[in-house]
Amino acid sequence: MSNKFKPEWEEKCWGRVQHIFANPHAAVSKLRVEAGWMCSRHFHQHRFNMFAMTYGTILVEQWRGSDTIRTLLRAGETLTILPGVLHRFRVVLGGSLVEVYWPKDSTHPCNRNDIQRFDVGGRDPDTAELLRWAVQDAQKQQESP
């Protein structure tokens, strides 16, 4: 039995998204992201949020209490955000990624409306600084044994 999905793309300030699959247990979307843009700071109360980069580079920022955790994701890398953690992504190098959601427990089915936004996404004012930081990080990765 095959399932169908709507192949339309939804435009976002940071690029566009195509929702491929959704049921109460999981949701999968494909994102095309444009360099120099960022999504809103937000969290999902009842679902995990995993990013899987296929090409390009994004910086994912998470705020946990007084700590800010920054993770640079490149092609072939994944990162999972826990439910309730404030986060956003900033696009360093344009590309593509897959976003996967799943519920934290069986009492809260996967729901695309499970999002609390704290601002709006848009043009990233620190794009040049972000790119320099990404280059330095890549150089450190190459120097590591």
- As a whole number of Å, the end-to-end CA separation of the chain is 48
Q: Per-domain residue ranges for the chain?
A: 10-140
Query: Does the pTM of the predicted model rise above 0.75?
Result: yes
CATH topology of domain 10-140: Jelly Rolls (2.60.120)
Closest by Cα among 27, 28, 34 to 11 = 34
- Looking at the chain, the whole-number percentage of residues with pLDDT higher than 70 is 95
Residue 9: per-residue pLDDT: 94
Place 3 in a pLDDT band, splitting at 50, 70 and 90.
low
Number of H helices, E strands in the chain: 1, 11
